[in-house]
């Protein structure tokens, strides 16, 4: 294990920035989000919940996928993916354990057959440096989903205390990054990290949502859960604004659309939301006509459908963003408490 004193973090960022783009939580206009690092940027590593999750590094909110040139009756398809070849490698820095788990959740979707090349190319050229949490918030419940906030995975894991950032490489990519910044690192930190981990774990135990019961969310209960009458009441206040889906680090839904420009047609994809009424609209009808059905879809997907599709892994990671951001104070915690199992009261 290595460490670097907090005063030298700027040198660390600058060093990384020499060879790679650096995406890191940065405070702008009072809000913290992942952004490109540069001298003078206000880095805020400690912020637990960036407004948008780092998923946009691999699955951007909007992304051009291809172009078409049309000439009379003819069409030419232009592959725009060459842009990736020219793109600098990236280091994504400061990813919290829940958000890292969320990337693994999205990996199963986008790297599964057939591989999504857009996602894969971004993913492959990015080195992920995670940061262990030391001050979890009340809305955090990652423990429920077996996330260890004190030992996130990733290419490099880091821990931060009052004086130092501690550094441990986990993968080949991580070793390469370590070699690059070696001159700034010094050995040490095992005891400090262990102490911090023990303290944080004790705090996590006491968080209000740390012991939610998920036991009823199994594929066998799919239909029983789907037919619960509680969905009506739980979803009544939902505005269908889609905020919960856009801030969620594991929401995968996207739309594919065309945009006419002077130089031809651009086909792009953008995040979409199952909370919207036209999400499933077809020429001859709509399979989800009520907000209750859409609300149910979102939470059933996280807690039942996704686990059933991918070996039992839940697609909620307990980041708590939807808990903080829903204007109507609806969220997955309420759903779990209502339907998750008898140990929820």
Partner 1 sequence: MIEETLIPKVGVITDVRKDTPDVKTFRVVGTDGKKLFQHMPGQCAMVSVPGVGECMFSITSSPTNEEYMEFSIKKCGCVTEVIHAMEVGQQITVRGPYGKNFPVEEDFKGKDLLFIAGGIGLAPLRSVINYVRHYRDHYGKVVIVYGARSKDDLVDIEEIQTEWMNEPNIEVYLTIDRPQEGWDGHVGFVPAYVKELGLDPNMTAVLCGPPIMIKFTLAGLLELGFEKSRVYTTLELRMKCGVGKCGRCNVGDKFVCKDGPVFRMTELDELPDEY
Ligand X SMILES: Cc1cc2nc3c(=O)[nH]c(=O)nc-3n(C[C@H](O)[C@H](O)[C@H](O)COP(=O)(O)OP(=O)(O)OC[C@H]3O[C@@H](n4cnc5c(N)ncnc54)[C@H](O)[C@@H]3O)c2cc1C
Contacting residue, 304, 317, 330, 335, with partner 1 by CB under 8 A: 304
12 C-beta neighbours (distance < 10 Å), count:
17
CB of 185 closer than 8 Å to CB of 4: yes
Place of tokens 């051009």: 64
Contacting residue, 64, 125, 308, 324, with partner 1 by CB under 8 A: 308
d(CA 38, CA 14): 8
Q: Is the peptide bond before 89 cis (omega within 30 degrees of 0)?
A: no
3-state secondary structure of 264: strand
Residues, the chain: 345
d(CA 33, CA 35): 6
249 binds, among ligand SF4, ligand X, partner 1, none (CB under 5 to 8 A by kind): ligand SF4
Query: Residue 10 or 309: which CB sits closer to partner 1?
Result: 309
For the CB of residue 102, give the shortest distance to ligand X in the complex, in Å: 28
Q: Does the CA dihedral 194-200-202-205 come out positive or negative?
A: negative
What letter would DSSP give residue 111?
S
d(CA 190, CA 187): 9
What letter would DSSP give residue 43?
B
| Interaction pattern, residues 194-233, with ligand SF4; x per rule: CB under 6 A | ----------------------------------------
328 binds, among ligand SF4, partner 1, ligand X, none (CB under 5 to 8 A by kind): ligand SF4
Residues 278-297 close enough to bind ligand X by CB under 6 A:
282-284
**Of 44-52, 162-170, 174-182, 255-263, which part binds partner 1 (CB under 8 A)?**
255-263
Q: Enumerate binding residues for ligand SF4 (CB under 6 A).
A: 238-244, 247-250, 275, 302, 316-322, 326-328, 330, 332
Q: Enumerate binding residues for partner 1 (CB under 8 A).
A: 65-66, 68, 70, 73-77, 79, 81-82, 109-110, 112, 114-118, 120, 219, 222-223, 226-227, 251-258, 260, 264-265, 267, 269, 272, 274, 279-284, 287-288, 293, 297, 300-301, 304-306, 308-309
């Amino acid at each position: 294990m290595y460490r670097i004193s907090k005063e030298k973090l700027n040198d660390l960022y600058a060093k990384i920035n020499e060879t790679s783009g650096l995406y890191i939580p940065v405070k702008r206009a009072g809000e913290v989000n992942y952004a490109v690092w540069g001298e003078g940027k206000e880095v805020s590593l400690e912020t637990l919940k960036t407004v948008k999750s780092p998923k946009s590094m691999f699955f951007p909110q909007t992304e051009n996928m291809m172009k078409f040139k049309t000439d009379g009756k003819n069409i030419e398809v232009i592959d725009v993916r060459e842009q990736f070849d020219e793109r600098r490698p990236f280091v994504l820095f400061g990813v919290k354990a829940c958000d890292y788990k969320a990337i693994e959740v999205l990996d199963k979707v986008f790297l599964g057959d057939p591989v999504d090349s857009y996602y894969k190319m971004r993913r492959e050229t990015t080195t992920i440096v995670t940061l262990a949490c030391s001050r979890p918030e009340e809305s955090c419940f990652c423990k429920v989903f077996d996330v260890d906030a004190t030992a996130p995975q990733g290419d490099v894991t880091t821990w931060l205390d009052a004086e130092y950032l501690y550094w441990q490489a986990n993968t080949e990519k991580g070793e390469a990054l370590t070699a690059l910044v070696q001159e700034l690192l010094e050995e040490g930190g095992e005891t400090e990290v262990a102490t911090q981990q023990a303290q944080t774990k004790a705090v996590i135990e006491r968080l209000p949502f740390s012991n939610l019961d998920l036991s009823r969310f199994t594929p066998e209960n799919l239909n029983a859960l789907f037919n619960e009458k509680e969905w009506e009441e739980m979803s009544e206040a939902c505005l269908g604004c889609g905020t919960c889906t856009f801030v969620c680090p594991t929401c995968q839904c996207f739309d594919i659309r065309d945009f006419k420009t002077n130089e031809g047609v651009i086909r792009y994809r953008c995040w979409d939301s199952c909370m919207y009424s036209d999400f499933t609209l077809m020429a001859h009808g709509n399979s989800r006509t009520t907000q209750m059905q859409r609300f149910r879809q979102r939470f059933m997907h996280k807690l039942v459908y996704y686990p059933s599709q991918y070996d039992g892994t839940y697609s909620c990671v307990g980041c708590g963003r939807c808990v903080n951001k829903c204007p109507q104070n609806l969220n997955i915690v309420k759903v779990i408490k209502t339907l998750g199992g008898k140990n929820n009261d």
